[in-house]
C-alpha cells in the first residue's frame, strides 16, 4: 500500500490501538495533521504543548497504556521538555511525535528548528530522528515497545517535514528490531530463594513498595505478601494506591513528609523488602541512618537502580509481579504479633494529626474529599504542600488512583494530567487537588477542560502563597520570606466562570460541607477555591541531611 510517511504514522497509531492523541499543530506538523483529518483517532487540542504531554502522561498513568502526544518543531518541541522529563523520572510510557524542519534544512538554524533529539537525550528512554521515510513504521513499532516494556518511559520521534511527505510502501512490521534491548522479567531463582530465606529468618520485616508495583500490576501480590509474612507496608509517593489505604498493615508514605510510624518502622526493622522503589533521597534522608539495622532485599526491573544509592543484600532484577509470584509459594504464613504490636504502638504514639483550629485546614479539605468519594475517585495533584496533604490524608483504594508528579516535582502537571486521566476514564470521578502556585502554571488548560466537557472537579487549596517554599524558608532561612507571597490573585471563581466552568469559593468547614454535595452532583467541571489557613505546614518533616527517624512533628 502506497502512503505518505505521515499517513503511515497515523495508520501505525491506529494499529497500536491509540484512541486519543494530545497535541497542538504547527507548520512542520501539517502533513501529520492532514493525515489525522481522515482518522478515527480522537485528537485533543490543548492550549500549550506542555499541556499535551502532561495530559498524555495522566492518560498513561490512569490506564497503564502508552500515552501519545504531538507538537510542531522548535518552540512546540521545547514546550514539551518539562513534560518529557517528568514522564522519564516517573517511568511513564509515552510516545511523543515532534515535527522537524525538512532534512535539507536540518542543521542550518532554520525557522522553528531545534535539535530536540539532542535536547531530550537525557530525558527520554530513547529517541529517533527519522531520516528515511521507509524506516518510520519500524521506528514506531520499536517506540511503542520500548515505551511500554521493561522500565517504562517516554520515547520521542522527531519527523522532518519532507520525510513526512515522502511516499512509502507501507506495511506495519510485526516484530521489533532492537538487538541491544532485552529487559529481564524473571528474577533469578537463586536470589529469590535467598530472599525467602531472609524473610523466614526476619523478626521485623517492612515492605517498602514503590511505583514499580503499579507499573507491574502487582498490587494483589503485594497484599498477599504482606498478609502472608505479617509485614507492614510503607509506600513511596509513586507507590501510593498500590496497597489499600485502609488495610491494617498499611503505614502510609515514608520519607521526608512520611508518617512518623512509617519512618520509625523502617528505622527499627531488621529486613527491608524494597519492591519497585529506588531509594530516592526524599525517601532515605541521610542514607547512613536509613534502615540501619536491616538487611535489604531489592526487587527492580531496572538493574541500574540496584546498588545505586544503597548497598543491598539480595538484589533481584525482574518484574516485581513475576518475582512475587515466584517468591510467594516459598513462604509460609507467619505470625509476627510482637512486631505488629510494636508497629501498632508506633501508630498510636505518633498519629498523623492536625489542628482544626484557625480557619479552613487543607488536611480537612482532603479528608472531606475522601469521605465524599469513599476513596473511589482518581485523584490528580500538582506539586507542593497540597500534594503532600493528599499523600498523607487521602486513603487510596485502587492502583492508579493517584496521579502525581513524583521524581521531577513539576508544578503545572496537575490540571492537564487530570484532563488526560478523565478522558481515559469517562465513567470515573477524577478530582484535581491543586495549589494556587501550581494551578496558574498551566491554567490555560481550563479551556481544554471546558471544550472536552469533562466532569473533573478541581479543589484549589489556596493560601495565597508558594506554600512549600514558604515552609522551607521558615525552617531554613529563619523566616525570611522571599518571593513566596502572592499579593495579587485573580478571582478564581470569576476566572472559572470566564471559562464556562462553575466555581465556588469556601473559607470554612461549614461552607465546604454545604457545597460538596452540589460539586459532586454537577455533571460538568467545577472549581472550588478553598481559602485555607495560610501558614499551615506539612508535618511531619525530616530536616535536611537528617535521618528519617529525626522528624519535626
Partner 1 sequence: MRHTLSVLVENNPGVLARVAGLFSRRGYNIDSLAVGRTDNPAISRMTIVVEGDERVLEQVIKQLRKLIEVIKVSDISREEHVDRELVLIKVSAEPEKRGEIMQIADIFRARIVDLGRRTMILECTGNEGKIRAFEESLRPYGIKELVRTGKIAMLRGSRYTNINGTREDE
Give the interface with partner 1 as residue ranges (CB under 8 A).
117-118, 121-122, 125-126, 129, 146, 178-181, 302-304, 307-308
Q: Which is nearer to partner 1, 118 or 189 (CB)?
A: 118
Is residue 393 annotated as a catalytic residue, yes or no? no
Q: Which is nearer to partner 1, 175 or 333 (CB)?
A: 175
Exposure class string for 271-308: b at 16+ Cβ within 10 A, else e = bbbbbbbbbbebbbbbeeebbeebbbbbbbbbeebbee
In sign, the C-alpha dihedral spanning 532, 533, 539, 544 is positive
Minimum gap (Å) between residue 481 Cβ and partner 1: 35
Is residue 49 annotated as a catalytic residue, yes or no? yes
Q: Which is nearer to partner 1, 130 or 166 (CB)?
A: 130
Give the active site residue among 7, 468, 471, 541: 468
Give the active site residue among 22, 113, 141, 161: 161
Is residue 29 annotated as a catalytic residue, yes or no? no
Is residue 111 annotated as a catalytic residue, yes or no? yes
Q: Is the distance from CB of 62 to CB of 54 less than 8 angstroms?
A: no
Question: What CA–CA distance (Å, rounded) separates 352 from 124?
Answer: 38
Q: Which is nearer to partner 1, 124 or 202 (CB)?
A: 124
Q: Which is nearer to partner 1, 131 or 200 (CB)?
A: 131
Question: What CA–CA distance (Å, rounded) separates 31 from 29?
Answer: 6
Q: Where are the beta strands (DSSP E) in 114-265?
A: 126-129, 154-160, 167-169, 205-209, 233-235, 250-253
Is residue 161 annotated as a catalytic residue, yes or no? yes
Q: Which is nearer to partner 1, 178 or 553 (CB)?
A: 178
Minimum gap (Å) between residue 116 Cβ and partner 1: 12
Long-range own/partner contacts, residues 229-232 (CB < 8 A, 24 or more apart): 229/199, 229/205, 229/331, 229/334, 229/336, 230/334, 230/335, 230/336, 230/337, 230/339, 230/340, 231/205, 231/206, 231/207, 231/273, 231/336, 232/206, 232/207, 232/265, 232/340, 232/343
Question: What CA–CA distance (Å, rounded) separates 392 from 390?
Answer: 5
Give the active site residue among 7, 16, 29, 49: 49
Minimum gap (Å) between residue 124 Cβ and partner 1: 10
- Helix, strand, or coil (residue 337): helix
Q: What positions carry a catalytic annotation?
A: 49, 111-112, 161, 468
Amino acid at each position: 500500500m502506497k502512503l505518505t510517511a505521515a499517513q503511515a504514522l497515523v495508520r501505525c497509531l491506529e494499529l497500536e490501538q491509540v484512541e486519543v492523541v494530545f497535541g497542538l499543530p504547527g507548520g512542520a506538523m501539517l502533513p501529520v495533521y492532514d493525515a489525522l483529518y481522515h482518522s478515527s483517532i480522537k485528537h485533543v487540542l490543548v492550549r500549550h504543548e506542555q499541556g499535551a504531554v502532561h495530559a498524555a502522561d495522566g492518560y498513561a498513568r490512569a490506564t497503564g497504556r502508552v500515552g501519545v502526544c504531538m507538537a510542531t518543531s522548535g518552540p512546540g518541541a521545547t514546550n514539551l521538555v518539562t513534560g518529557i522529563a517528568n514522564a522519564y523520572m516517573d517511568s511513564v510510557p509515552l510516545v511523543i511525535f515532534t515535527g522537524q524542519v525538512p532534512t535539507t534544512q536540518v542543521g542550518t538554524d532554520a525557522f522553528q528548528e531545534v535539535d530536540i533529539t539532542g535536547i531530550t537525550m537525557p530525558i527520554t528512554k530513547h529517541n529517533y530522528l527519522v531520516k528515511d521515510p521507509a524506516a518510520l513504521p519500524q521506528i514506531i513499532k520499536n517506540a511503542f515497545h520500548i515505551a511500554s516494556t521493561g522500565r517504562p518511559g517516554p520515547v520521542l520521534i522527531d519527523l522532518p517535514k519532507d520525510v513526512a511527505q515522502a511516499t512509502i510502501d507501507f506495511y506495519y512490521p510485526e516484530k521489533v528490531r532492537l538487538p541491544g534491548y532485552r529487559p529481564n522479567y524473571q528474577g533469578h531463582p537463586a536470589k529469590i530463594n535467598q530472599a525467602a530465606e531472609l524473610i523466614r529468618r526476619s523478626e521485623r520485616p517492612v515492605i517498602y513498595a514503590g511505583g514499580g508495583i503499579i507499573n507491574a500490576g502487582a498490587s494483589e501480590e503485594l497484599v498477599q505478601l504482606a498478609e502472608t509474612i505479617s509485614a507492614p507496608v510503607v509506600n513511596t509517593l509513586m507507590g501510593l494506591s498500590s496497597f489499600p489505604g485502609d488495610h491494617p498493615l498499611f503505614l502510609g508514605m515514608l520519607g521526608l513528609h512520611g508518617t512518623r510510624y512509617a519512618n520509625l518502622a523502617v528505622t527499627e526493622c531488621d529486613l527491608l523488602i524494597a519492591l519497585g522503589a529506588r531509594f530516592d533521597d526524599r525517601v532515605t534522608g541521610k542514607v547512613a541512618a536509613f534502615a540501619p539495622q536491616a538487611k535489604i532485599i531489592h526487587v527492580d526491573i531496572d538493574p541500574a537502580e540496584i546498588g545505586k544509592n544503597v548497598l543491598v543484600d539480595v538484589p533481584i532484577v525482574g518484574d516485581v509481579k513475576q518475582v512475587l509470584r515466584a517468591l510467594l509459594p516459598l513462604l509460609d504464613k507467619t505470625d509476627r504479633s510482637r512486631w505488629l504490636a510494636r508497629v501498632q504502638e508506633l501508630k498510636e504514639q505518633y498519629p498523623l494529626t492536625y489542628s482544626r483550629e484557625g480557619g479552613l485546614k487543607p488536611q480537612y479539605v482532603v479528608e472531606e474529599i475522601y469521605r465524599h468519594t469513599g476513596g473511589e475517585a482518581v485523584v490528580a495533584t500538582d506539586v507542593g504542600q497540597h500534594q503532600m496533604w493528599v499523600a498523607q490524608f487521602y486513603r487510596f483504594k485502587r492502583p492508579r488512583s493517584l496521579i502525581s508528579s513524583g521524581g521531577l516535582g513539576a508544578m503545572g502537571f496537575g490540571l492537564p494530567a487530570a484532563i488526560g486521566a478523565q478522558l481515559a476514564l469517562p465513567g470515573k470521578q477524577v478530582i484535581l487537588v491543586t495549589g494556587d502556585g501550581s494551578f496558574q502554571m498551566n491554567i490555560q488548560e481550563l479551556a481544554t477542560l471546558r471544550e472536552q466537557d469533562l466532569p473533573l472537579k478541581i479543589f484549589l487549596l489556596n493560601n495565597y502563597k508558594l506554600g512549600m517554599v514558604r515552609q522551607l524558608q521558615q525552617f531554613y532561612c529563619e523566616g525570611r520570606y522571599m518571593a513566596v507571597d502572592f499579593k495579587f490573585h485573580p478571582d478564581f471563581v470569576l476566572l472559572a466562570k470566564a471559562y464556562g466552568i462553575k466555581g465556588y469559593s469556601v473559607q470554612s468547614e461549614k461552607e465546604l460541607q454545604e457545597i460538596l454535595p452540589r460539586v459532586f452532583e454537577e455533571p460538568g467541571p467545577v472549581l472550588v477555591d478553598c481559602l485555607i489557613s495560610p501558614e499551615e505546614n506539612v508535618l511531619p518533616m525530616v530536616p535536611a541531611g537528617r535521618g528519617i527517624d529525626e522528624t519535626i512533628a
